[in-house]
Structure 1
């Protein structure tokens, strides 16, 4: 029996634009990321995100600990990333069965007028060791183990789900570092070819035949900047993006002049750069050994090392790989800033730059200062909430806060600590609770649901009689959503020790609000100086003041993680009774 023809579908991906308002190629800069719906759509609207800013990741399409209502009410959340690998346990994946003009938004329940939703295959924060990728597939991790996703699969998923932003596949080695020059070369070649495959116009191949549109490039594609910790490999990948294409290579992505013409932005994943290398010795031919340190904060050199076995690669077009034929020797231990600047040096300045797996506000500020990254992931603030830490820092630091304490402050409060059991103050010191606002207040307000909770003020009506009886109260303004007293540290301490899920909901909402305030402060400082050099110098001084005031070792997070583990063990099956008995016996 002949298979019925597929139902024609159309792509309605909004147009993504980035405007750089102020800033050098490398250094503090501000801009605006705008997602505009097509004019022929019923809901014509624009999502405008000032940069620097952040995105937040999801687990199976859910922002950790937050309900849909929480996400919709959090004005700070504008960009949400969805790793698609978590849906691959079924074939076809369940989200691909969603119909409508915006399947991804509709399936996950996000507001298309407020939220940019991007789609990546892998979770950029997951750097656990994985089976090697092949020439035409990438290894993804789902609930049922590792699954191979082909280029055609990913192209089909992106076409079906129609995300606002799609991340191209990248051949990132998820195996123990260091990697050989041969493996890095293969990674560059595959990543380039896989980007070219996603940039092929929809409608000019057999798998795209259901499309009713003519060949176009409707997608907003972000590319992972490949190259690992190799300076030359990163230069080569950037060269592949900007090199003019000819012949069959040009025809495949027509009308693009080069691959970079179809790229909307650049992404950097730090998780793999932080993988701890295997200590080995190199340079023995020089009469001495150079020990590669086991330091997760400094990427290691990957050249002149024993080659790892890799499968034979398919032929990559000459223009995609010619620059990898003569890689020179590299210096050992390039810094993170050097790696990022090398990748961006030959690329257009007016495209957004995204980075994942940042670990602290200190690192964010340095990346703004030294590189000019525009978007950062918020995974670290969610992890802080996981272990019971309520963030409490402010940037720029007010003059009144300087000199009050000789030791560096923690960036937050470990609410598992027993000292908070009787602390009835609000969660944060750096911000005021919404109810404490006064006309003379100079401190910023934390708008989160923990510090500034609100009530709708509207009674629940069960009948027409209830409506009539409450009408006078509504006319008096009862429904103006009055502010309630903030939740206290002692209350959250209690929730954490009783394993109440609402504790982490409060903490994620609060931490996201503090992170949003950090970026607001960054943008305010940069925009406050018309001269770029003056803005950069002033911003650098404020970063130094922040580093001097707050503990970058993040000791509060390490202590909180230990306390969280102790409570988790104490609340385990049969353990609670034993722990209670020990306490009573003391």
Structure 2
């Protein structure tokens, strides 16, 4: 997309917030020369975008570039902060987990504190906590969708809501595909205020819906997971207000397992009746029409 097409799209769509164009590097082995060129190009595009959008009145967020180079992230942040933008985007999508903290910090420590910072690539609970620690304000909410797709319900807690005993390696989600839940006639979480839990729809019922491949199953799970993710963010804000964030973050990391939750359907053996309308396999179905002569 060119700056002219970008400006045309903004003028037509009139979004509440717009993000400037950027030259994003995806190669993890990219050399410093390529990274430096992406920073320079993104700054040039930002200037063009600011010029073409100055009459729209729409707040503009700018990308902080630099990819895997600490120095270039710092340079990008400093030069971007000199522009008249209303917020910043710190992108760490696709980067190695052991690099995230230092790369985010290299960006945010060179940005003004009175403007919001959005992070791309820090959607997991662990990523969100690491982002908050390094001054990120806003995050994408794809984690709720991803665990819903796996048939899982968020169960983790943070701050005052977390049981701070010495046990470790607790799962962060509940697998509703688990056959052991077929006779669990209680809600996912009796303390949850979401629609799925307050109705209440039981674990056994949602387990049945998943097996029947009813669309109500992901709807109920998404309702629960979005509610719980919002509750998680509220707990983080309260923890910060109480000056206990670092302590609460350490307790969270010690208490829960941080391995990736597997797909709940993996190894699932309920798909026996291949003639069932609820079969998971996508098959072509034919409708038989019979004309009865009067």
In which range does the TM-score fall when normalised by the shorter chain? 0.7 to 0.9
1:102-181 equivalent positions in 2, closer than 5 A: 149-174=1-26, 176-181=27-32
Residue aligning to 1:486: 200
1:247-258 equivalent positions in 2, closer than 5 A: 258=82
1:345-424 equivalent positions in 2, closer than 5 A: 345-369=109-133, 371-398=134-161, 401-403=163-165, 406-424=167-185
Q: Distance in 1 between matches of 2:172 and 2:226?
A: 14
Q: Distance in 1 between matches of 2:70 and 2:203?
A: 47
* Structure that is richer in helix per residue: 2
Q: Is the 8 A contact 2:94 2:121 kept in 1?
A: no
- Select which of 43, 46, 60 maps to 1:195: 46
Q: Distance in 2 between matches of 1:346 and 1:367?
A: 15
Pair 1:549 & 2:255 matched: yes
Residue aligning to 2:91: 269
Pair 1:451 & 2:194 matched: no
CA offsets per residue over residues 15-64 of structure 1, 9 Å max, x none? xxxxxxxxxxxxxxxxxxxxxxxxxxxxxxxxxxxxxxxxxxxxxxxxxx
1:529-548 equivalent positions in 2, closer than 5 A: 535=243, 538-548=244-254
Cα distance, 1:486–1:358 mapped onto 2, change above 3 Å:
same
Q: Distance in 2 between matches of 1:168 and 1:560?
A: 38
Residue aligning to 2:292: none
Q: Which has the larger radius of gyration?
A: 1
Q: Is the 8 A contact 1:427 1:489 kept in 2?
A: yes
CA offsets per residue over residues 506-531 of structure 1, 9 Å max, x none? 11111111011111111112223xxx
- Select which of 572, 579, 586 maps to 2:281: 572
Pair 1:234 & 2:86 matched: no
1:571 match: secondary structure: coil
1:239-318 equivalent positions in 2, closer than 5 A: 239-242=78-81, 258-259=82-83, 261=84, 263-273=85-95, 296-298=96-98
**Alpha-carbon deviation of 1:193?**
1.2
**Alpha-carbon deviation of 1:566?**
8.6
**Alpha-carbon deviation of 1:170?**
0.9
Q: Distance in 2 between matches of 1:359 and 1:220?
A: 23
How many residue pairs get matched? 278
Q: Is the 8 A contact 2:122 2:139 kept in 1?
A: yes
Pair 1:509 & 2:255 matched: no
Residue aligning to 2:264: 560
**Alpha-carbon deviation of 1:239?**
3.3
Q: Distance in 2 between matches of 1:350 and 1:267?
A: 14
Pair 1:496 & 2:210 matched: yes
Cα distance, 1:238–1:565 mapped onto 2, change above 3 Å:
farther
Q: Is the 8 A contact 1:389 1:507 kept in 2?
A: yes
1:558 match: secondary structure: coil
Q: Distance in 2 between matches of 1:573 and 1:381?
A: 25
Q: Is the 8 A contact 1:200 1:217 kept in 2?
A: no
Q: Distance in 1 between matches of 2:48 and 2:268?
A: 45
**Alpha-carbon deviation of 1:427?**
1.0
**Alpha-carbon deviation of 1:173?**
2.4
TM-score normalised by L of structure 1: 0.45
Q: Which runs of 5+ in 1 are unaligned?
A: 1-148, 203-214, 243-257, 274-295, 299-334, 433-445, 453-484, 529-534, 575-586
Q: Which runs of 5+ in 2 are unaligned?
A: 284-294
**Alpha-carbon deviation of 1:498?**
1.3
Q: Is the 8 A contact 1:397 1:545 kept in 2?
A: no
**Alpha-carbon deviation of 1:200?**
0.5
Q: Distance in 2 between matches of 1:232 and 1:241?
A: 14
1:235 match: secondary structure: helix
Residue aligning to 1:57: none
Residue aligning to 1:221: 60
